[in-house]
Every structure is written in C-alpha cells, then in structure tokens.
Amino acid sequence: MEILVFKTNLSRRQLKQMSAVFDATRDLIRWHVDFADCDRVLRIEGQDISSQQIMAVLREMGVACEELT
C-alpha cells in the first residue's frame, strides 16, 4: 500500500467533485482532507497509484497541489 500526502488549496465546494472522482477510482482505498490545517492536507492510501496521477486529476479540477515528502 502506498500513502501519498499533498498540500492543496482545496475548497469545500470542490470536495464534492473530487469525491466523485476518487470514490470511482478502485485503486484508492482511503483518502482524507484536513481542512483544519492551513495547508489543507490531502492524504491518500491506495494500491498502484502515483503522485503524478493524483496531481493531474487535481490540477484538472483547478486545484493547486504539491506533494509533501
């Protein structure tokens, strides 16, 4: 299992759209956005996923993101 963590500028309004995409992706096991954190950290757990793949999806939705290591 891989765990990916991103700094984002996600809004609660974008969360619905992202939820539809992520929930339909069978390789994603679990994901969470921490809106209490100033960096709106997105944490993703999954199999055979890449940070580039996730970042492409987020950018397509207009979300700025940066992988945290």
What is the per-residue pLDDT across 26-54, written as a single tens digit (0 to 9) for each?
Answer: 899 999 999 999 999 999 999 999 999 99
- When pLDDT is averaged across residues 5-29 and rounded to a whole number, the result is 93
Q: Annotate 24-41 with DSSP letters as a single string.
A: T-TTEEEEEEETTSTT-E
Q: Rounded distance, CA 25 to CA 7, Å?
A: 21
Mean pLDDT score of the chain, rounded to an integer? 94
b vs e for 48-68, b when ≥16 Cβ sit within 10 Å of the residue's Cβ?
ebebeebbeebeeeebebeee
CATH, range 2-67? 3.30.70.100
